Amino acid sequence: MNDRKRYERIAFVASAADDARAALEALVARYGDAPQAEADVVVALGGDGMMLQTLHETMGRRMPIYGMNRGSVGFLMNEYIEDGLVERLAAAERTVIHPLTMRARDREGRVHVAKAINEVALWRQSYQAAKFRIEVDGKSRMAELICDGVLVATPAGSTAYNLSAHGPLLPLASPLLAMTPISPFRPRRWRGALLPDRAAVAIDVIEDDKRPVAAVADNTEFRNIRRVEIALDRKTDLVMLHDPGHGLDERILAEQFGW
């Protein structure tokens, strides 16, 4: 007897790409389209951006998300196949991840809060390099970092912007966060740090009036920031479904060997 959960009430969402919209039409005609409030699972059609958007939109509901690639990269997605979707969902492996919470204080003293599934990044807003002071768990760790920016990535996000910035790839189950500088100038050879995922990170912007900085949590941006506090939100579970043998752990491992 199959003891896997069956997801029969399926809600579909799709990006604006032509391939994604065509897939949406074909799958809804074949499997129906349940309202999200009544669905067992959401199937997201598009690329990794669509997966992140869907996870953000369903955050706090523990709604399983199964992505099918109708975009470009599709690192977080499964292969697009129209046949046997209900059976694929029943056989899928669950991955539970947690987002970061970013609290950013701007020049006027306003506090902005946002969640990040991949990373929180601080960027220079002008032609001048940014200057940062970094604290971890209330202790000063770097008095001055001069760079274009700095980011803190989750294991799930370590394959995204963090990897492009030459940060480390983290196994999904590792209790770590990656702190990675973006085009560092001083200290010139600082490559970043691996932090325990229980760490509380605070980054102050030095000379923020002269060297303005924006803070970004995934795709949510705030400008003219003076201080950012970052911590993992363990109370929020995000559930992704992947075909057997094609989960994020396997993809992260394969990426390190030139897949």
Does residue 30 belong to any structural domain of this protein? yes
Query: What is the pLDDT averaged over residues 32-59?
Result: 95
Q: What strands lie across the sheet with 201-206, from one edge to the other?
A: 111-116, 100-106, 225-232, 201-206, 130-136, 139-147
* Residue 198 in this model has a pLDDT that exceeds 70: yes
Task: Judge if 184 and 77 occupy the same domain.
Answer: no
Task: Judge if 60 and 183 occupy the same domain.
Answer: no
Q: What pLDDT band is residue 35 in, cutting at 50, 70 and 90? A: very high
Q: 224 among the known binding-site residues?
A: no
Does residue 108 belong to any structural domain of this protein? yes
Task: Judge if 243 and 228 occupy the same domain.
Answer: no
Query: What is the pLDDT averaged over residues 126-139?
Result: 97
Task: Judge if 252 and 226 occupy the same domain.
Answer: no
Task: Judge if 132 and 226 occupy the same domain.
Answer: yes
Q: Indicate the length of the chain as a whole number.
A: 259
Task: Judge if 107 and 30 occupy the same domain.
Answer: no
Task: Judge if 47 and 163 occupy the same domain.
Answer: no
Does residue 2 belong to any structural domain of this protein? no
Task: Judge if 168 and 113 occupy the same domain.
Answer: yes
Query: What is the pLDDT averaged over residues 250-254?
Result: 71
pLDDT tens per residue across span 61-85:
999 999 999 988 778 899 999 999 9
Q: 237 among the known binding-site residues?
A: no
Task: Judge if 50 and 92 occupy the same domain.
Answer: yes
Do 203 and 117 contact (CB within 8 A), yes or no?
Answer: no
What pTM value is reported for the model?
A: 0.88
Q: 164 among the known binding-site residues?
A: yes
Do 176 and 98 contact (CB within 8 A), yes or no?
Answer: no
Q: 121 among the known binding-site residues?
A: no
CATH number of the domain enclosing 246: 3.40.50.10330
Bridge-partner residues for 146, per DSSP?
A: 131, 186
What are the structure tokens assigned to 35, written together? 């309202």
Query: What is the pLDDT averaged over residues 240-254?
Result: 78
pLDDT tens per residue across span 155-177:
999 989 999 999 999 988 899 99
Q: 199 among the known binding-site residues?
A: no
Q: 69 among the known binding-site residues?
A: no
Q: In terms of residue numbers, what domain contains 118? A: 100-232
CATH number of the domain enclosing 175: 2.60.200.30
Catalytic site residues? Answer: 48
- Report how many domains make up the chain: 2
